[in-house]
Chains A and B, each alone.
With several copies, the nearest count.
Chain A
């Protein structure tokens, strides 16, 4: 069977231009979401992932649609990378019937089993043992699918991180733990909350590989994921990947990130994942400056159409709140 999300996912598997396009799609999507909130036409809160696109796309490129992924409230990028449509994500953020979970969840709650996206997590760390459990299913059923938990640097200080990884390690579950170290947990820089520099070192506590990955480079993320996934599928157990990256936006809608270390943003922006990848593809002759520009324009245009369309789409009826409470 096929479907738009699955096709969007498959497109990433081989085609690096599609990966570039997806990164651009995520960046512009998140920028637009911030604006929509700023305009005050969206209720609630949102957490965007500008700057972290390479992690999402690298993971989606390496994983199978049948691999199960848990990610966080900062999940728009991961969802789009896995193949979830912009319409599904934006409509959920805007609380419309067409949203990923029918508009009753909001920005923090997306889900698309078709491409392996389990419900996203608004509670820090909660997705880590849940990913171990999805890997348990694969182990019990004897498939060679794997699970992937995506979480932040701040999440590495919560108990569920320790318990979930330890459990996966002792049972040699096929799971890859990907820590997106974007340097901040909410308004606190990692060095305020975490006594070590490299979170990958925490793998020592579980006797599993701990790997530092350049989170600015989708190719690097893909390669590290391929290695970790191969190990998982072979029955050799989990790995902990630390993708070093940076959060361009504030923590959530309102946050202007006044706490940022001066010059830090600029330093990271020099290594911007989209600019770097664009340059590489141009070097490789896969793209030209012109084709890249056209691609970016096209993505921007499509996004505007999408926004207009979702703005017009209906809200759920009150009755919707009573659906899906029990199966």
Chain B
């Protein structure tokens, strides 16, 4: 099986869809001649030419809006938002226009577009270039939202997103672009949007996570004295409620590991849903392992401290299992701060 870096897997997935469907076009800042600031569209200009692969001005509202118009009229645009924060200048086109046009056209118009955005901390890009921001797009009927966690599922998710008749936002953890892994390509590798993956199975606890935290959680389980069902959601809109319920029915314990703020991070949706539909199966407090409620700090040490680490996941789950009560986050434990 070929090994690829995640950015190569994404470019490969886009290329496969472009070969299969002439209506797929790629737009973004430096995605063409330079092959993408993170090389996620490397080679596309050469193979598919300047009509279908385009460098844009620095105009996120403009080119995301153009993607909406192109999608409404028959193309399948794949737009790159270099850092997810830049959706702060273009969110209207994604959430208020694209997500609602099928509805607001009485079903006469569809908007098959993909917005790809790199997310997350770990590379020292600082407070305005290191967030994940899933919740900007979460409570948005009409939109789909996926998060990649490996070269393999990045390949499958982007292909499924491009084929989907709805607007889909795909978030790509920047820190994983350089990760190499086996990537099986081809049509069988599409990842159905809304389907989670059981990354590892175990008995003591159900850990639900996504994106860059999947790796962290697997590092944690590797060194832990307990075993866990590790569920990589892969999609947030829709998300795989059944998979999580099914696991929690067995383990009775739900832990969320999120690269997001403690207040309002994406995991609260999963926790809330399980606190309702899974209530009678729960034997322990639902535990969220997140970042603290601060802007992402710069600096190797600070950033490493800011992000949930494998060791931290182990110690929090250890405490949960040992005491049966909610472990408080490190920043509330005076000593560790």
Contacts and interface: CB of A to CB of B under 8 A. Distances in A.
Contacts of A138: 73
B29 A188 contact: yes
Contacts of B112: 327
Interface centre among A132, A137, A139, A192 (most CB of B within 10 A): A137
Chain B contact-residue range equals 35 or more
Contacts of A194: 57
Contacts of B92: 123, 126, 160
Contacts of B301: 315, 318
Contact of A158 (B59, B71, B75): B59
A101 B125 contact: no
A299 B107 CA distance: 31
Interface in A120-173: 121-126, 128-141, 147, 154-155, 157-160, 162-164, 166-167, 170-171
B69 A111 contact: no
B2 interface: no
A105 interface: yes
Contacts of A113: 105, 108-109
B65 A187 contact: no
Contact of B166 (A132, A133, A327): A327
B33 A104 contact: no
A113 B104 CA distance: 12
B145 to A, nearest CB: 13
B309 to A, nearest CB: 12
Given A154-B57, A164-B66, A166-B59, A101 B73 contact: no
A75 interface: no
A85 to B, nearest CB: 14
B66 A141 contact: no
Contacts of A159: 59, 61-62, 89
Contact of A155 (B58, B110, B128, B293): B58
B108 A111 contact: yes
B69 A132 contact: yes
B115 interface: no
B52 A111 contact: no
A186 interface: yes
Contacts of B102: 324-327
A130 B65 contact: yes
B177 to A, nearest CB: 13
A4 interface: no
Contacts of B155: none
Interface stretch (B93-101, B202-210, B239-247): B93-101
A187 B61 CA distance: 20
Interface in A235-275: 259
Contact of A104 (B65, B103, B144): B103
Contacts of B103: 101, 104, 324-325
A133 B302 contact: no
A42 B101 CA distance: 23
A292 to B, nearest CB: 36
Contact of A167 (B59, B127, B129, B299): B59
A44 interface: yes
Nearest to B142: A325
A136 B104 contact: no
Interface in B182-203: none
A133 B141 CA distance: 23
Contacts of B142: 325-326
B72 interface: yes
Contacts of B64: 129
A140 B50 CA distance: 10
A133 B126 contact: no
A38 interface: no
Given A154-B57, A321-B306, A132 B73 contact: no
B299 A315 contact: yes
Given A43-B298, A163-B61, A322 B331 contact: yes
A154 B56 CA distance: 11
B337 A133 contact: no
B106 A102 contact: yes
Nearest to A93: B298
A105 B298 contact: yes
B294 A44 contact: no
Contacts of A103: 298-299
Contact of B93 (A126, A259, A321): A126
A48 interface: no
A111 B297 contact: no
Nearest to A124: B58
B55 interface: yes
A193 B72 CA distance: 24
B123 interface: yes
A100 interface: yes
B276 interface: no
A119 B109 CA distance: 8
B73 A319 contact: no
Given A140-B52, A166-B59, A324-B106, A186 B69 contact: no
Interface of A: 43-45, 68, 70, 95, 99-109, 111-113, 118-119, 121-126, 128-141, 147, 154-155, 157-160, 162-164, 166-167, 170-171, 185-188, 192-194, 259, 315-316, 318-327
Which 7 A/B pairs are nearest by Cβ-Cβ distance?
Answer: A133-B69, A44-B124, A129-B65, A163-B62, A106-B298, A95-B299, A133-B66
11 contacts: A101-B103, A119-B105, A133-B72, A134-B70, A137-B70, A164-B65, A186-B37, A188-B55, A318-B337, A321-B305, A321-B306
Interface of B: 23, 25, 29-30, 33-34, 37, 51-52, 54-75, 77, 85-86, 88-89, 92-93, 96-97, 101-112, 123-129, 141-142, 144, 165-166, 292-295, 297-303, 305-306, 331, 337
